[in-house]
Structure 1
Amino acid sequence: MFTKERNEQTGAPTLPPPPLNNLQGPVLDNPSDLTLATVILIVFGIFMLLFGLLMFLIQAGLLPFNPDSTFGLLLVLLSIQMITLGKTPFGTFRRTWIVIILGFSTAIIGTGACFIPGFLAGIIPQLVGCIMISGGVMLFFNLLFSEGRARQWIRIPGVLQHLTVACGFVYLTVILFGFVVLFPRFLPDIFTGLLMLVMSAGLFYLAWCIQTLSLQYPMKERDPETSEDKGTSGIVWFLLHHEASLSVPVSFILLLGIIFIECAIILIPSGKGYYLFSRDGQFGLLMVIMAVQVLALGKTPFGVYKRSWFLICIGILIALLGMYSCIVPGLLGGRMLLILGFWNLLTGSTGLTKIVIPVLQSHRSSPNTQVSLSKSKKKLLWIVIILHLLTIGFGMNLILPGIIPSIVVLANLFILGFLMIHLASMLRTIPLPL
């Protein structure tokens, strides 16, 4: 009983290691190796902390505010939780395909809000507020009355007592935050910022509890559950009961692919002047996703590294810059272009070098020592090479805007997104040969 409940609360990844060596998640063996559930809670805490601090200046009229981009980013963060952990605002579920689809749908809505100022104006904050209130109420009552969970935990000295208090505190502040979003005058202006600061403290407290619990009681990996009658049960049964065989790194590739395609589609009517396009929201969202990958996977432009406190600090700094750009438009635009541009330029160049050099060395070696690749692995290798080239082009366009024609930029984004989705589908069954 204790192990089952712990699994639901930590939400730690339970899928087998991802097939790509350069994308494999880190091993939890010291306090700086944060679980994915801890990382996402920390990112939420950073968001609320920054939002709360900026809210004092926004309410005083000293800073501009983009509510669509702000709450759109919050929706994308919620979708990352759903896609990678199966954790929804209403509870934790198995990562079935219906949960994955709902997560990506939420990401699409949040991305649209980040990219287009005024997109569904007023509806996005109302959606976030309703989710926060209903989800917080459901989680709080589930904590109190579901199999007496809180009563069991509170009797066990140590981290479980802290976990009970942290969960209850976060759920209550989430409910209050939802009311503030739905009814801006629910609290006086000064208390709105204070509520966000208090909520951020609760999220950091909960992250500490989950990380401590994960270190004291490490979880074993398990394979996704399958069923023998999936062929005869229909598509509805498959979506509701079949667990998605998507590793966390592959889930991020798929998410980025969808975002790039959505960006390319949105830019077409935006380029004709039908509506404005928020560069701050676009680059801020991409920076936050990059930061989550740094914190959760140790993924940097130079490859994947064991996460140290220095790397964690870099991830937090990137997250702060991205969140600031989404909340307060117009102040970090040029700097964000350079940071994101150099990040993509280094990522593409380093990835391409790591592939090309071993291939050249293999061709120069004797025929007896050359490695023979299957047709599918050769196709996968070419897709990765093209992706790195497109990533370099995307970075160059950010560093030197206008050097690449706009139609080429659109094609680059669309092809980049399509190949990422295709790569994610292939990586479910084929490991990268290099």
Structure 2
Amino acid sequence: MSIKKWLKEVSSTVEEVNKIDKRYYKKYDIKQGLRNADGTGVVVGFTKIGSVHGYTKCDGKKIPTEGRLFYRDIEIGELIEKTGKFGYESIIYLLLFGELPGKRNLRDFNAILDRFRKLPPHFTENTILKSPSNDIMNKLQRSILVLYSYDNNPDCLDIEKILLQSIKLIARFPTIISYGYQAKAHYFDNQSLYLHNPKKGIGTAANILHMIRADNKYSKLELDTLDLLLILHAEHGGGNNSAFATHVVSSSGTDTYSAVGAAVGSLKGPKHGGANLRVRAMIEDMKENIKDYGDEKEVKDYLIKILKGEVFDKKGLIYGMGHAVYTKSDPRAEILKEKSLELAKAKGRVEEFKLYNNIEKLTKEIFKEIRGEDTEICANVDLYSGFVYDLLNIPKELYTPLFATSRVASWCAHRIEQVVSDHKIIRPAYKSIKNEEKCNFEDIKR
């Protein structure tokens, strides 16, 4: 018997013996996805690094509010106003050290990042070029784990050592994803291979554009936009999947490379960092099937078909809409929407911006019509981030890796917080259900 035939025969059995009746979760009040019945997250710890606010609670009821996002108790809009050139580098400093840097501290910190942007000797050839991956997140995760071998004391848990490891990873992420993309494009897409060394004194966003573009050219608007994206993606509280993964893995006492590698694996998932690619795919499908982006009726009718599972991927989801915490608005989406319009005007693509704007506007209308006037749903950051990446001529293979490049500063901050503040291994419980158990579900609403 061939392995393919055997797998086909046994896979249905494997699926069946591992399936748990969903009614058990209600019977035993199990919080699926660590979510309460109203969708709010189960509180499992404390953090000083960031906070996300999208609702209030009154008499146990969830009350929608305008979204607010804080990095170290500073609201995101205020942060953007306070940070000028090297905005993302200022955010890294804030997340790691708890305060925004002065001019001298920022200058010195940028010099330290520049010192580590280049990869170790032979790393590019042996780790990236000799084993390219069709998925840059996979390449990024593997590269992080290989860097463990280049560390003379990788398992040390002294904060001084973890901080150095963190700064090196933050500095090297842009180079790894840029070179990983070039290797992928050369090996799988038959494109010319060009590797530009990172430059000193220009910062993270400029280095990314410098390393992924053949001509090294970019406008100030493009640079400012990418820097803004990095700022907006840098932190989102301890409860998002990748930050929580960092806490969980770090609680075991393992090394920095394993913890950050786990976070990358989490962000790779389409329900987390990979969501922007689902938005991009949905938009491409809508472009093929909608004649006039400005025709609200035509757009609305197609969105209803998506929601009913009749078109696109038939999963009944309008990607880029809705969030686990934000209800009335996602502040990141609000900021990015304004910037995307500015960039769309510069690129002559305002008509396309109208499609995104109509998706946001009309999805809200549809949900109110279906679920009642009190229903609140907002655009999340993924709706506009994919559009901005596209306007910046950034290949879709780099959408999620750029998210990781921004978020690694947060992961490192959360790892340090876990190591410093909570010495217990995170170890929740799972209730065992015997196969032969005959559970009475009569009292449970089906």
Class of the TM-score when normalised by the shorter of the 2 chains: under 0.3
Bigger fraction of residues in helix = 1
TM-score, L = length of structure 2: 0.21
TM-score, L = length of structure 1: 0.22
